[in-house]
Every structure is written in structure tokens, then in C-alpha cells.
Amino acid sequence: MFRGIFHNSVDEKGRTSIPARFREQIRESHETPLVLTLGFDQCLFLYPMDAWKKIEEKLSSLDTLNAEVRQFQRTILKATDEVEMDQQGRIVISPVLRKEAGIGKAVVVVGMLHRIEIWDKEKYENYHAQTTQSLELLGQKLSDKGIQSLTL
Amino acid sequence: MFRGIFHNSVDEKGRTSIPARFREQIRESHETPLVLTLGFDQCLFLYPMDAWKKIEEKLSSLDTLNAEVRQFQRTILKATDEVEMDQQGRIVISPVLRKEAGIGKAVVVVGMLHRIEIWDKEKYENYHAQTTQSLELLGQKLSDKGIQSLTL
DNA sequence: CAAGTTTTCCCCACTTTTCCCCACTAGTTG
DNA sequence: CAACTAGTGGGGAAAAGTGGGGAAAACTTG
């Protein structure tokens, strides 16, 4: 499981460091290469291959004769890349993905349990500035909708 | 599984490069030759032979007494070619297929799990310009139709 | 059936991109 | 305050993509 938040940079070549703690976890208990894809809210999701394969299975089982299914598949896969860590523990973010996620020079890397999220620093701050609901209130809303109970 | 997006060109002879990563996958774990066919939405689908055979099975199991089935079969097969990679990892796209898919000098090659899609660059951009529904919305639609849930 | 023509495909060569490796800096720890 | 580690930057070798010449094959035609 990935936890924690890190502030890193993206260099001229589009490379960014995977936090050392995540590197170790990946090397110890996950399959490589990694899969980098455009997730929700304009940030990138980074999955170890074993986690990604579960998503792929569902994606590829959908009916290709349905135009909306094709569109859904393409929308996800057009912004999906396999990436390898280099020996310094960095990955390259392709120009396409950088553009889609609006990624500039500074990024925030967040451990989100099964996946790692990579945000453009500014977008990250905006997101949290706009969504200043208290944890208590958010939890209450989910509970009201019957989404799930959560024992902390 | 094929993943990632690549921007390549088509030369005078109608050749285009298969991205190196796909080549390796094909050589390692798939049967050749490859099958190139006119897919949906005016792009070309490229399958390794083993994947194509499964499609052929389904195609041939359809009820031939039905006129629409026959038409479906013929429409697919009239624009289907066997292609081999040359030693540089390129395939030749026949003039017929180039015309049907409106393929000019620049193409986009996209890994779509079991298949590879080859798009004329302009057509690709148009497709995604016209279908800029957010991933969230698309997922919602599929969900509403009871197609499948997908946890990202 | 041979000669000419076209097409295919193999190979070489060039350009661009990628990626591997080394080195530097800053921050942390013993 | 030295030694380590994490993160960063850049140069050079290797690989990927591209274009074209020429030999072999196939197809035409007299």
C-alpha cells in the first residue's frame, strides 16, 4: 500500500522521481513495468502492473460492438502508458500525458493505497482549495447516501 | 496486452513502423503473421494471428441464413489482410486499406489491449475532439446501462 | 517462352529520440 | 561534521524510426 505525500520536480526530459519509499515497495512486492494513466480530476494514476491488470480485464471484457464502450476504452487507453523506473528511480511522463494532466515543472506525488497519484502542483492546490469541506462533513454525506460505513 | 500511444509516419511505399515495444510482445508471445483489418470508426485494427483466430471463430459461428450476418461478415473480410513485419519492424498497409481508413502520411498507433489500432492522425484527432465526454460521464452512461462497474 | 516491366522486399544509411550512466547538491543521520 | 541517501541535471551511447537504392520475384506482353 502506498501512503504519504511528496513534492518533486519534472526535468527537461519529462522525468520525475518516484519517492524512495514507493520504489522499495514496488521492487519488493509488485510487478513491473508500471502503468501510468490519466485518472479522474486531471491527475495521473500510477499503478503497479498487477493492480493495473485487474482494471484491464474488465476493460477488455466489454462489448466492442457498442460505440460508447469503444469510446470509453479509447478515452482511457489513449492516455495510458507503460513506464519503467530508471536506476535512479525515475519515470518518464510522456508529452501526451503531461499535456492531459496539465503537468508543468512541479508535481505532488501522493500515495493512494493501491495506486500513486501524480498532480501538477498548482492543480493539486486548487483542488484542495476548492474542496474545503471538513472531513466530518464529507463522512456524514457518504454515510447519508448509504455508500459505506467506515470504522476509523 | 498492447498499451501506449505512438505517432508514426507512412512512407511512399505504404509502410509504417510497429512501435518497438509492440514488436517485442508479438515476437515473444504471439503468432504471426498479423492480421490487419478495417475496424470501427474508420481506423485499422491490427491483431496477432492467435487473437484474430478467436474473432474468426465467432464470425463463422454466426447464422449465415441471416442476410445481415452475411453482409457483416463480408464487410469485415473484404478489408482484411495478412501482413508480416519486415526486419525493421514495419508492415505494409495495402492501398485498399489506406483508402478505406483515410490514411495519409501521419498515423497514430494505439495499444488497445488485445489489438493495435492504426489511425490517420487527423481522423484520430477529430474522433477525440468530437467525443470529448469526460471519463466520469462515459463511465456513468455505461453504468446506467448496466454494462459493468469498473473500479479505478 | 523469353524479354521487358512492375512490384515486392531486403538491406544499408541517416536522423532523432530514448535511456543509461556519471556527477552534483541538499538535506538527514549517526 | 563526515557519511549517507534522496532528488536533480546533463552528456554520450544505443535504439527506434525513417527514407531510399537495388536485387529478386512476379506479372505482362510480344
Per-residue pLDDT at B142 exceeds 90: no
What pLDDT is stored for residue B147 in this prediction?
62
Q: Please report, rounded to whole angstroms, the spatial distance between the CA atom of protein residue B108 and the C1' atom of nucleotide C24.
A: 40
CB-based contact B3 A40, cutoff 8 Å? no
- A98 in any annotated domain: yes
Q: Strand C positions with any atom < 7 Å from protein CB? A: 8-13, 18-23
- 3-class DSSP state for residue A14? coil
- 3-class DSSP state for residue A3? strand
Q: Please report, rounded to whole angstroms, the spatial distance between the CA atom of protein residue B109 and the C1' atom of nucleotide D18.
A: 16
What pLDDT is stored for residue B95 in this prediction?
92
pLDDT in tens, A69-90: 899 899 999 999 999 999 999 9
Q: Please report, rounded to whole angstroms, the spatial distance between the CA atom of protein residue A111 and the C1' atom of nucleotide C27.
A: 22
- B134 in any annotated domain: no
The whole-number mean pLDDT for each consecutive block of 10 residues of chain A, a chain of 152 residues, reads 95 95 91 92 94 92 88 92 94 95 95 96 92 83 78 72
Domain that holds residue A29: 2-144
A87 in contact with nucleic chain C (CB within 7 A): yes
Is residue B113 left, alpha or beta, with left meaning phi > 0 and alpha meaning psi from -120 to 50? Answer: left
Cα B125 from Cα B96, distance rounded (Å): 22
Cα A104 from Cα A124, distance rounded (Å): 12
- B45 in any annotated domain: yes
For residues B30-37, average pLDDT: 90
CB-based contact A63 B112, cutoff 8 Å? no
Kindly report the average pLDDT of chain A as a whole number.
Answer: 91
Per-residue pLDDT at B63 exceeds 70: yes
- B139 in any annotated domain: no
Q: Give me the CATH number covering residue A111.
A: 3.40.1550.20
**Residue whose C-alpha cell reads 508543468 in the numeric block:** A104
Interface test with A, best of B43, B108, B148 (most A CBs within 10 A): B148
CA distances from residue B79 to B73, B85, B102, B111 in whole angstroms, order as listed:
10, 19, 13, 21
A73 contacts on B by Cβ (under 8 Å): 112-113
Contact assessment for residue B37 and residue B79, using Cβ atoms and an 8 Å cutoff: yes
Domain count, chain B: 1
Q: Which amino acid is at A74?
A: R
**C-alpha cell at position A126:** 486548487
Footprint of strand D on the protein (CB under 7 A): A 6, 8-9, 11-13, 16-20, 23, 88-90; B 6-9, 11-13, 16-20, 23, 88-90
Q: Please report, rounded to whole angstroms, the spatial distance between the CA atom of protein residue A21 and the C1' atom of nucleotide D1.
A: 27
- B143 in any annotated domain: no
Nearest to B108 by CA among B99, B121, B95, B96: B121
CB-based contact B41 A78, cutoff 8 Å? no
- B51 in any annotated domain: yes
Reported as a pLDDT band with limits 50, 70 and 90, residue B82 is: very high
CB-based contact B112 A74, cutoff 8 Å? yes
Reported as a pLDDT band with limits 50, 70 and 90, residue B141 is: confident
What pLDDT is stored for residue A40 in this prediction?
85
Name the least confident of A70-74, B1-5, B48-52, B128-132: B128-132
CB-based contact A69 B142, cutoff 8 Å? yes
Cα B75 from Cα A65, distance rounded (Å): 14
- A151 in any annotated domain: no
| Residue A44 contacts B where some CB pair is shorter than 8 Å | no
Query: Which ranges in B6-133 belong to alpha helices (H)?
Result: 20-29, 49-61, 67-77, 95-100, 121-130
Per-residue pLDDT at B26 exceeds 90: yes
Per-residue pLDDT at B19 exceeds 90: yes
- A100 in any annotated domain: yes
CA dihedral B84→B88→B89→B91, nearest 10 degrees, is: -50
**C-alpha cell at position B14:** 505504404
Provide the 8-state DSSP code for A10: B
CB-based contact A76 B135, cutoff 8 Å? yes
